[in-house]
Amino acid sequence: MSRILVTGSTDGLGRAAADALLSAGHEVVVHARNEQRAAALDELTGRGADLVVGDFADRDAVRRIAAELNAARPLDAVIHNAGVWSGPAVMPVNIVAPYLLTALLRAPRRLVYLSSSSHFGGRPLLTGIDWRGRSAGSYSDSKLFVTTLAAAVARLRPDVLSNAVDPGWVPTRMGGPNAPDDLELGHRTQEWLATGDDPEALTSGGYWYHRHLRRPHRAVHDEEFQDALLEALAQETGEAVT
């Protein structure tokens, strides 16, 4: 059985993934933005899940969480689920936090990054990006960046399985009650990539939708863009992903 961190697991897809992984016998670390939201995880921690708390819009909180996790039993996988749809926290939460965790955690063998079909509308431009969230960021840009991060990590770390997943437009707090996609299918691919042992689940560098590989935005596998994104984030955070 694996030890898996699921970020943003108080509700929605993250909660569903953490619940399913616990039910399958895995050791799960759940994450909440603050102590108030952590109360929603009492049922999962009561079943044995470990808990980390911290606001991913705060880089110091991300660093503290990484240190806590590095001091505990090593992780086998991370599902980078935490995300916000709009506002100043878009870049800090959707790309800076998963980048920092990728740089700081003792390398888990499997990394799953939550993308979106919105990434097709993202711009592969790095000038003028407000990484610190002083103003509202573009959700589409953030998802293009995190999808590119997944591909870059797959290239740079051949011993790590790194993939991006489009969970679909599902009826969560973010997606809204009228979202048309299947909530159950929305989290199953993440769990499969984090723990599965069939040949398809052991591939790396993919962009997945309901266990099917899709072709992402053409910038995702552009190595020059990958390197430029990594360099921009390394300069911004002082941490390098190698």
The residues annotated with a catalytic role in the active site are: 139, 143
Q: Which of 63, 71, 49 is nearest to 101 (CA)?
A: 63
Token couple for 34: 């603050």
Distance CA 155, CA 223 (A): 9
Beta bridge partners, 32, equal 53
209 residue type, one letter: Y
DSSP strand pairing (27-32 vs 207-209): unpaired
Cβ contacts of 70 within 8 Å, gap of 6 or more: 104, 105, 106
Enumerate residues 6+ apart whose C-beta is below 8 A from 46: none
Q: How far apart are CA 124 and CA 220, in angstroms?
A: 9
Which tokens is 192 given?
Answer: 């499969």
In sequence order, the 6+-apart residues with CB closer than 8 A to the CB of 30 are 6, 9, 10, 14, 18, 41, 44, 45, 49, 50, 51, 52
Q: CA 185: distance to chain centroid?
A: 17
Which residues, in sequence order, are bridge partners of residue 187? none
Alpha-helix residue ranges (DSSP H) falling in 71-114: 90-91, 97-104
